[in-house]
Amino acid sequence: MQRPKRPGAVVFARPPASVEVLPLAQAFVLDPHAQLLKRAAKGDRAAAGALVAAVSPRLWRLAWRMLRDQTEAEDVVQEALIRLWSRLARWRFGEARVETWLYRVTTNLCLDRLRKSGRFVDEDAAPEGADPSACAETVLIAEEARTLVDAAITALPDRQRAAILLSHFEGLAAAQVGEVLDCSVEAVESLLSRARRALRASLEPQREALGALIDLEMVA
């Protein structure tokens, strides 16, 4: 089975044409998407489309890695963007980065789906070093090293998995990951530390054979 590709363009609900926003000049320096959001809030459809195009691929990638289901990932991204549009009238520029807020909503939506479907794995319920071979869908992916890493990440407890994905795959700093997961930097570092220990335990038997093919930096 091949890794599913990101879906094509999806038509998202257009934001309200007229809303009040509280712009801060500094916000546009700190948040590269703030200007697009401000224009979208005024009914600029091109800006709304550009914003969707800019954030959707990363949100979809995060949702797919969390849920391992293409349709669910699409639904989560759609819902996250709808929630963004619904907040435009109350959005306070400079208080939250657009992408960080969307990562938080996307992550929470994924965790909610995992809980409701009975797939949620709590940190204290899963043994460290869970066997990555248990994820049959991932094991079918062609590249052996990537398969092993993906499967080991999938086997992590959900918040640990989210922390690893946000930090190592999406490039967020610990403070940003804390904003997304609604926890302190210290808690993020604890999640990452526990996740790395679990990944090391899962991947150690294969590291000698696969060597540099396994992302050693991620599990260091």
In this prediction, residue 138 carries a pLDDT of: 39
Angstrom CA distances, 37 to 19, 55, 153, 161, 178, stand at: 12, 12, 33, 29, 23
In this prediction, residue 8 carries a pLDDT of: 45
In this prediction, residue 210 carries a pLDDT of: 54
Does the pLDDT value for residue 10 go beyond 60? Answer: no
Domains of the chain: 20-120 (1.10.1740.10), 123-220 (1.10.10.10)
Does the pLDDT value for residue 61 go beyond 60? Answer: yes
DSSP class of 22: B
What are 211-215's contacts with CB under 8 Å, separation 24+?
213/144, 213/145, 214/145, 214/148, 214/149, 215/149, 215/168
pLDDT more than 90, % of the chain: 39
- Closest-CA residue to 207 (of 191, 220, 192): 220
Q: For 160, list phi and psi in degrees, rounded to 5.
A: -65, -45
Does the pLDDT value for residue 125 go beyond 50? Answer: no
Q: pLDDT tens for residues 127-157? A: 444 444 444 443 333 356 677 778 888 889 9
In this prediction, residue 207 carries a pLDDT of: 63
19-28 burial string, b = 16+ CB within 10 Å, else e?
Answer: bebeeeeebb
CA quadruple 154, 160, 162, 164: dihedral sign? negative
* Cα 166 from Cα 132, distance rounded (Å): 20
In this prediction, residue 112 carries a pLDDT of: 92
DSSP class of 211: G
Angstrom CA distances, 89 to 7, 31, 96, stand at: 29, 18, 14
Q: What is the average per-residue pLDDT within 80-92?
A: 89
Q: What is the average per-residue pLDDT within 185-212?
A: 81
**Which 3 state secondary structure label does DSSP give 92?**
strand
In this prediction, residue 55 carries a pLDDT of: 93
In this prediction, residue 11 carries a pLDDT of: 41
- pLDDT bin (cut points 50, 70, 90) of residue 27 is very low
In this prediction, residue 209 carries a pLDDT of: 54
Q: pLDDT tens for residues 156-190? A: 999 999 999 999 888 899 999 999 999 999 999 99
- pLDDT bin (cut points 50, 70, 90) of residue 102 is very high
